[in-house]
Structure 1
Amino acid sequence: MKRYLACFLLIPLVYSAEAQLRSPADFLGYELGERFTPHHRVTDYVRHVADNAANVDRIEYGHTYEGRLLQYLIISSPDNMAKLEEIRTANLQRAGLLEGVPAEDTPAIVWLSYNVHGNESVGTEAALAVIHTLVSSTDNDVQTWLEKTIVIIDPCINPDGRDRYVHFYHQTRGHTPNVHGEAREHSEPWPGGRSNHYYFDLNRDWAWGTQIETRQRLPHYNRWMPHIHVDFHEQSVNSPYFFAPAAVPYHAYITSWQRELQNLIGANHARYFDEEGWLFFTRQIFDLFYPGYGDTWPTFNGAIGMTYEQAGSGRAGLGIITAEGDTLTLSDRIEHHYTTSLSTIEVAANQRARITTEFAEYFQNAASRPSGAHAAYVVRHTGQEDKVRVLADHLDLLGIAYGFATTASSGAGFAYHSGSTERVSIESGDLVVPAAQPKGVLTGVLFEPEAELEDSLSYDITAWALPYVYGLEAYATEDEVTWTPTAPVSEPEALPSRPVAYLAEWKSFEDARFLAALMRKGVKVRYAELPFKVNNKSYDEGTLIMTRGGEGAAFDSLVIQAARYTNQHVEAVNTTRVTEGADFGSGDVVFMRAPRIAIVAGPAVSSYSLGELWHFFDEQLEYSTTLVNSDDFGSLPLFRYDVIILPSGSYGDVLSEGRLEEIQNWLREGGRLISLGNATRFLAGKDGFGLQIKPDEDDEDADSLGVRLRPYADRNRHEITEDVTGAIFRTELDNTHPLAFGYEQDYFTLKSSSRAYAWLEDGWNVGVLKEGSRVAGFAGMEALDALNNSLVLGMESVGRGEVIYFVDNPIYRGFYYSGRLLLANAVFLAGQRSVATY
């Protein structure tokens, strides 16, 4: 035991004779814990290790948005390294993801992921210590661990965020670190280093892959399918260390073995922590339910996924005085993560045979029987081809098998749009996701209409079924559906040369991407406010119309290039006269000016909300915007912009009465103001804005004595009766309004707040909740009552301009695809009739 502790306490071990391999201190010029290591030096050291150690492979798997390298190391015994591909292949065969009979007695695979949150910066420092121990120690136990395990170490998942924090700290500290919490080095400026370049929380993105770091990492994870995955974090400076087992709720699909091994690993950690007198806690706060985390996503992929939380985070710096009067140092934090890292590897080595056996059984069970109540998930292909294609790309990223129905059939199934079991007609070519497949557990987690929630005190959202996320007509069937992996192919119609006009439907966000591409190329675009018919074909409201008149010789090539770039279908017509509806020269066919858009950024707004908008326009839509710091918004020349977007935030210091009057004047002249989340809350009740918070219908005097005298121990459970923890609600849409073009009469909004707004008295209530509108996820009873008959999406006119209110976030965490078109409608379609010409 003392020998282990010597290792854990970073006491030098006896090292091998590989004279070229240097310790982190020797290579970097300082002891780990004396300063933070910037990413380029982390990369230098990892390369040095790979170049000079015999038992290491280094894999580069991509770059961040800011160009920083993403990489991981594979470390094991020399014998294992010599047959690494055989071991990897055998593991995938054991999971049923590759054909063939796996080799026996293969090592357990442990994947350690550090620093997904950039300002939880100890992770990378600890990773360097762990790497050096594993590649250089001649300790017999360490060598035995490596004989029985393959250890994969990603030293920094989020280099952009981490360097943001590290550079801040280096620039604000003095010669001697200041341990007082009020010192500026303990207070990061907005947006902080937690998030990546686009201010996304990468630890919520594992299931969605919206960010480039995640999209590049997941294929490598799927190449290995580790048996254990640890996600290293930090929390507040006054919190003891957290490790497994996790808190409830556990998702119902988590197996008894996954629970058991968490307990075994936690017990091993506790042994070392108790020997050192380090405090820790387990089974609280950090649950295993939402699938986007670095513990749950691996868990639903057959691993034992765990979160470890060390005290510190962005406030700790190199040292900080805690509430108990102790000084928490970076060296302390390294030591704790170092200890749990090696302790995890130790348990994996000791439990190798059981781990690999249970892993194989996990996937055998998943492939032989559905995890949930349904045998297949079927998505209608006809009429929603764009969304099906995007869903298929998502399934490819996750490694979920799918195909297409070979014949038409029918049977009983759950209809996501109605929320009831009914007779389902399946068409040939519909997308089919079988529930029984190697990744069947993950499939069930993501497709089952509603997950069983054993405890409503959850850490995150509680509803995410993919048919709601993508806004798809879909069914969960009770019987299996015959399918083929070959997608249906339709031959594109040949376009006539030099048609009078091109038409494109408006049914999905992909159509908005096509519109943005046309606007970037300077093509003039109109949209139809009414349905119409031409050449014996019907077109819905919102259809994009590009006419030849007024365009140059490159008109055809520009339209076709934009269509090919966005993978969209266009149709050609040789007349602007329609047989039903409004001719293309009618006032009901609206010319679309490319909007000039400003978005408020900076300390007044939520960095997450801003990041979602920034990423939406920059990466998903590819449309130029101007981000304006909130401190500078007061002097922004409003009339340079057609659209101003207010992300969720606190606007008391940004939108004074005088500035609101200026905005009202800008609106009267044709401006368009779009508010989201708490920005909508700020505008409610303000002069000139018609939005009002929905009055509480309950009589305060009617509160029961039972509520007034509720036990202190029940305070959290009472509070959640008034809360909504990321639940999905059916929203009734007025799809004749441009804000809802491209939608059916229902939209499934993801609601993460119980704040309710009254329907507009003088405006358009485009999206509303009626009674009984919850579809999936947890919402407290009092919250449900408050949300009955409330607003989700509204628009009111102010002179020639409009204010558009989003109560909920239509692009939540970048993954809520079905809301993207609503935001595109708000930006491109709504208000175009009266757009200003500044």
Structure 2
Amino acid sequence: MFAQHNTDLSYYLPQDITYNTNIPTPESIIGHQVGQWHISHDKLVQYMNALAKSSDRITIKTIGKTFEDRPLLLLTITAPKNQIKIETIKKEHLDATNDVSNVNVDNMPIVVYQGFSIHGNEPSGTNAALLAAYYLAAAESNDVKDLLEHTVILLDPSMNPDGLQRFAYWANSNKNKNLTSDPNDREYNEDWPKGRTNHYWFDLNRDWLAVQLPESRARIEAFQEWLPNILTDHHEMGTNATFFFQPGVPERVHPLTSNKNQEITKGISNYHAKALDKIGSFYYTEESYDDFYYGKGSAYPDINGGIGILFEQASSRGHVQESSNGLLTFPFTIKNQFTTALSTLEAAKNMRVEILNYQHNFYENARSEAAKQKKNAIVFGDEKDFSKTYHLAEILKKQNITVHELNADFTAEGKHFKKGYSFIIPKNQKNIRVIDAMFEKRTVFQDSIFYDVSTWTYPLAFNVDYSEGAYMDKAGDEVTNLQLKDGEVSDISNYGYVMEWHDYYTPKALNAILNKELRAKVALKPFSLNGKTYDYGTILIPVQNQALESNELYDYLKEVAKNSHVEINAVFTGITQGIDLGSRYFKSLDKIKVALLVGSGVSSYDAGEIWHLFDQRYDITITKLDVNSVYGADLERYNSIIIPSMLSSALSESATKKIKTWVQNGGTVIGYENTIKWFNSKEFAKLDFKDKAKVPAHNITYEQESDFKKAQTISGAIFEAEIDRSNPINFGYKNNKIALFKSTTLFLEADSSSYNNPIKYTKTPLLSGYISKPNLEVLKSTVPFKVKSLGKGNVVSFTDNTNFRAFWFGTNKLLMNAVFFRDQL
């Protein structure tokens, strides 16, 4: 009926050329025609290896592994004579981006990185990669040979293997023999959490700058190894759309992206239009999508001297589906992706010299601009928390940014920077524009609509002190071997041990201690001992009456300190300046037993970030409890239940009642974003919401309605809040203010009693990003956090995500405090 089962290579490939019969076709290896079934990752790997084995145009390597241990492949495709000298070509290419004058690019190959299906359930890209790789290996035309002589193609056939495998299984296992195009069919309605994301349900296309995930780390290392001139990012969008390619909305380009970049992007787009016109495919450009957030694939190259190109193909979501443009078949979606993969290469070949010169000039101009800056360095650090500081430095190093040690302690702008706990970034370096993109605070914008977040200021996300100034005289040695500090126990004691709560990994250490059935207490007040002041939240581990003998306890704590990179100090007396160690202000802590609600109606992004935080960062066992299993589950196994942002309909009334009874009996439930509205409606907690601003739509046309409404949202901005450091929710923070990420228009009224407002937005809260002026007025002096009692238990409410995209290290401890110190809140 749909002529899909018999689709062969002639449907996709140019037919006016010959193909090398020694090169295996996709069908000969994977067992079916491209587009007949959704390619699984294992078969994709099998085919790519077969191609590399049979073609002298291709080399292949595994550049990393996913969380599920699938290989991340990268094919290098170029002429055989280039393959022989590929390392020389790479060196010459990178040399042209360094401080080399009079570079002649006339005979240099252009480097094109082609990335497919970073969202696993947008599979037309990866399936097109089968065709692109075969075409480049087998096509015998002079045009293709000329292309390969002048181009190095880095082909990344599946940027999200775990998600691709999950979706391919779904689409294939729900495929009918007699294909149905009915959008209501199960084939087109993927189950939670869907294949878009990776193992921990992260959107990998938001991690190019933060590089927190293994897929991203491998990809960015490959990118920085080559600095490609063009990078293509093949996606899918709604079924009723057509095809999109960049440039996007002109007003929504980040100011750090040059006009020349957009001019070249426009020039490349003409090749896509011509190619799609030839096969009769409809498309659009300069609409909806933007080039603002550098953390996504199509914008990341723009700040690295390259040209990023986003492709968005209307998705069949299965094998064939009805759409407003007629029947949309899977092979048709693949054909469009393949067609634009080839048009990109044609543009690269024909615009080669212009684009190579652009990249050389990009870095030359960047160095020139950097050399003129009077504020020649950025210093950042946290004298109480090296681990968090380390992880920010780690990101910088992965972005090929030079970082130096501090040569001595110093104070700047009222902030103290400690040697060994701080780093210096010279501004006069090649990647100054990446530095600017990561550290800038921006509150003025050309447009008020954002496809993604409006800001991502990294030192604010990490909650580290930082300052920009003429600090290069404070720079010590360049950091070449960045490492976390070795944790240690200062001495053996027969009395007790104390651990300040400041370091990022203290929750990991405390969890290991409690899981060993060891007694531990938390200090509700500061104290001083042996010349050292211990802050709120210091953990005390007594030696007596423990499950381990004193020598065994010492050995175990040494292991914990080493694995968690924390400092544990031996103490030999209970007498202190402040509360003594036997004080009632030391409260006993229990082993944490945490459940995380997941499933239909729950935000998979938010749930995945929490799962990843516990599982990967802190080695804390967490139970993923499906919303459909709550009613039949034994909730007494847990003392904390975390509910990410959730639809009000996600839990049945019986499940809701069960959770409420569990809280009344002493449990702590922690809710985020929309979940706190559910708390209010289900009478878990009485929360006083403040209405978001109502802006009258005066002089707004029908055409402008959508943009007008979007401008009243908060796509992602950063705000300042004052914190009460004596409240357990804020233990581990050394400053009286904190930067918070906000992407909702949920506003909570402050309590009339100030001690019930441990976190409160300031009267001038905007630090970076976009918020409409009316909503900014509403936000001032509201609170992002509340805790209410319900029977013997607690209901903890966060208006916004404290774990955003795994790189908001600075607020992870808020959730940890809510879990570990739930009885003290």
- TM interval, shorter chain, is over 0.9
Give 1:396 shift: 1.7
Tell me what 2:595 maps to: 598
Give 1:499 shift: 4.6
- Give me the whole-angstrom Cα distance separating, in 1, the residues matched to 2:652 and 2:376: 53
- Give me the whole-angstrom Cα distance separating, in 2, the residues matched to 1:172 and 1:97: 56
Instruction: Say whether the 8 Å CA contact 1:596–1:642 is kept in structure 2.
Output: yes
Tell me what 2:180 maps to: 178
Q: What is the correspondence of 1:672-711 to structure 2 with a 5 Å cutoff?
A: 672-695=668-691, 707=697, 710-711=700-701
Tell me what 1:750 maps to: 741
Give 1:653 shift: 4.7
Tell me what 2:502 maps to: 507
Tell me what 1:583 maps to: 580
- Give me the whole-angstrom Cα distance separating, in 2, the residues matched to 1:278 and 1:660: 50
Instruction: Say whether the 8 Å CA contact 2:67–2:214 is kept in structure 1.
Output: yes
Give the counterpart letter for 1:117 in structure 2.
Answer: H
1:726 aligns to 2:720 (yes or no): no
Q: What is the correspondence of 1:634-653 to structure 2 with a 5 Å cutoff?
A: 634-653=631-650
Give 1:437 shift: 1.2
Give 1:508 shift: 3.5
Give 1:381 shift: 5.1
- Give me the whole-angstrom Cα distance separating, in 2, the residues matched to 1:509 and 1:406: 24
Tell me what 1:814 maps to: 806
Tell me what 2:321 maps to: 320
- Give me the whole-angstrom Cα distance separating, in 2, the residues matched to 1:284 and 1:347: 22
- Give me the whole-angstrom Cα distance separating, in 1, the residues matched to 2:397 and 2:57: 32
Give the counterpart letter for 1:396 in structure 2.
Answer: K
Deviations 1:127-171 (A, max 9, x none): 010001111111111111111110010100111111111111111
Runs of 5+ unmatched residues, structure 2 = 1-8
1:665 aligns to 2:664 (yes or no): no
1:778 aligns to 2:795 (yes or no): no
Tell me what 2:355 maps to: 355
Q: 1:605 to 1:305 in 2, by over 3 A?
A: same
Instruction: Say whether the 8 Å CA contact 1:674–1:805 is kept in structure 2.
Output: yes
Q: What is the correspondence of 1:416-427 to structure 2 with a 5 Å cutoff?
A: none
Larger deviation, residues 429-438 vs 600-609: 429-438
- Give me the whole-angstrom Cα distance separating, in 2, the residues matched to 1:492 and 1:404: 20
Q: 1:74 to 1:161 in 2, by over 3 A?
A: same
Q: What is the correspondence of 1:226-375 to structure 2 with a 5 Å cutoff?
A: 226-247=228-249, 248-312=251-315, 315-324=316-325, 326-370=326-370, 375=376
Percent of paired sites with the same residue = 27
- Give me the whole-angstrom Cα distance separating, in 1, the residues matched to 2:558 and 2:44: 46
Q: 1:221 to 1:709 in 2, by over 3 A?
A: closer
Instruction: Say whether the 8 Å CA contact 2:19–2:140 is kept in structure 1.
Output: yes
Instruction: Say whether the 8 Å CA contact 2:378–2:471 is kept in structure 1.
Output: no
Deviations 1:199-229 (A, max 9, x none): 1100011111222211222212211111110
Tell me what 1:556 maps to: 554
Instruction: Say whether the 8 Å CA contact 2:511–2:592 is kept in structure 1.
Output: no
- Give me the whole-angstrom Cα distance separating, in 2, the residues matched to 1:526 and 1:722: 46
Instruction: Say whether the 8 Å CA contact 2:385–2:504 is kept in structure 1.
Output: no
Instruction: Say whether the 8 Å CA contact 2:367–2:430 is kept in structure 1.
Output: yes
Deviations 1:150-193 (A, max 9, x none): 00101001111111111111111111221121222111111111
Tell me what 1:566 maps to: 564
SS at match of 2:758: strand
Match of 2:475 among 462, 474, 483: 483
1:633 aligns to 2:627 (yes or no): no
SS at match of 1:203: helix
Larger deviation, residues 76-85 vs 663-672: 663-672
Tell me what 1:201 maps to: 203
SS at match of 2:784: strand
Give the counterpart letter for 2:512 in structure 1.
Answer: A
Q: What is the correspondence of 1:87-102 to structure 2 with a 5 Å cutoff?
A: 87-96=89-98
Deviations 1:505-546 (A, max 9, x none): 111322222223333444332211110111222100111122
RMSD over aligned Cα, in angstroms?
2.7
- Give me the whole-angstrom Cα distance separating, in 2, the residues matched to 1:826 and 1:564: 25
Tell me what 1:116 maps to: 118
- Give me the whole-angstrom Cα distance separating, in 2, the residues matched to 1:495 and 1:373: 43
- Give me the whole-angstrom Cα distance separating, in 2, the residues matched to 1:822 and 1:46: 45
Q: 1:654 to 1:68 in 2, by over 3 A?
A: same
Instruction: Say whether the 8 Å CA contact 1:600–1:647 is kept in structure 2.
Output: yes
Larger deviation, residues 615-624 vs 714-723: 714-723
- Give me the whole-angstrom Cα distance separating, in 1, the residues matched to 2:742 and 2:130: 41
- Give me the whole-angstrom Cα distance separating, in 2, the residues matched to 1:809 and 1:427: 30
Larger deviation, residues 602-611 vs 379-388: 379-388
SS at match of 2:536: coil
SS at match of 2:108: coil
Larger deviation, residues 222-231 vs 359-368: 359-368
- Give me the whole-angstrom Cα distance separating, in 2, the residues matched to 1:358 and 1:709: 43
Instruction: Say whether the 8 Å CA contact 1:692–1:758 is kept in structure 2.
Output: yes
Runs of 5+ unmatched residues, structure 1 = 1-5, 412-421, 834-838
Match of 2:131 among 129, 132, 137: 129
Deviations 1:109-132 (A, max 9, x none): 000000100000111110010001
SS at match of 1:168: helix
Give 1:555 shift: 0.8
- Give me the whole-angstrom Cα distance separating, in 2, the residues matched to 1:100 and 1:351: 20
1:445 aligns to 2:437 (yes or no): yes
Tell me what 1:382 maps to: 383
Give the counterpart letter for 2:338 in structure 1.
Answer: Y
Give the counterpart letter for 2:674 in structure 1.
Answer: N
- Give me the whole-angstrom Cα distance separating, in 2, the residues matched to 1:437 and 1:353: 25
Larger deviation, residues 205-214 vs 193-202: 205-214
Larger deviation, residues 638-647 vs 94-103: 94-103
Give the counterpart letter for 1:166 in structure 2.
Answer: A
Q: How many residues align?
A: 806
Structure 1 length as normaliser, TM-score? 0.91
Larger deviation, residues 26-35 vs 438-447: 26-35
Give the counterpart letter for 2:501 in structure 1.
Answer: W
Q: 1:659 to 1:129 in 2, by over 3 A?
A: closer
Deviations 1:718-765 (A, max 9, x none): 324432121111112121110011122211111101121222468832
1:622 aligns to 2:619 (yes or no): yes
SS at match of 1:666: helix
